[in-house]
Amino acid sequence: MCFNVISKSILVITLPKRFYALGRTYDKNGNQGEFWDEESVEEYNRWVQELAEAYGNEVYQTSETSAETINANQTINEDIADNLGVHISYLSYLEYLKQLEVEGKQEKVLPGLKSYSPQKLFYMKYSNVSLFHYLFIFILELTRNVFSEKMF
């Protein structure tokens, strides 16, 4: 069942995209305005700033001899969506564990993984599913570029 929760979390990542810096200022009908109270806006801005600072310091290798620092302004919208998606998925997983406990059951765990807590297993499973999701997107984009209409 945890796998189902995690698989659905990939879909959950699309929902928080409504909370991008500009996206959050639109209502369900597409009207733009400020729909949050001042305290919520301040808390949101503080959280976004913390994300930008945390991810803006990430360095990644671009080749064997060079590296670049991620520009937080270019990735902040995806950072918001990813963080909210993981958080919502984790809360859903905790609810699932509570439901199992009420029913007197436990989540089935593969041999060799029984020493890990359910919470650690969630993040292990989540990273695995996320990896395949992004790998699929990468391959899809690669095939679009390699087999573009320009070639034919």
Give pLDDT, residue 14. 59
Give pLDDT, residue 82. 81
Give pLDDT, residue 27. 82
**pTM to 2 decimal places:** 0.64
Domain boundaries, the chain: 2-151
Give pLDDT, residue 59. 76
Give pLDDT, residue 7. 52
Give pLDDT, residue 134. 67
The listed CATH number (3.30.70.3280, 3.40.390.10, 3.90.1150.10, 3.40.710.10) that belongs to domain 2-151: 3.40.390.10
pLDDT of the chain, 152 residues: tens digit per residue: 555 555 555 555 556 656 666 777 888 888 888 888 999 999 989 998 998 888 877 777 777 787 787 788 888 888 888 888 888 888 888 999 999 999 999 888 888 888 998 888 888 888 777 676 667 767 777 776 655 555 44
Residue 122 neighbours by CB under 8 Å, 6+ apart:
2, 6, 90, 93
Give pLDDT, residue 18. 60
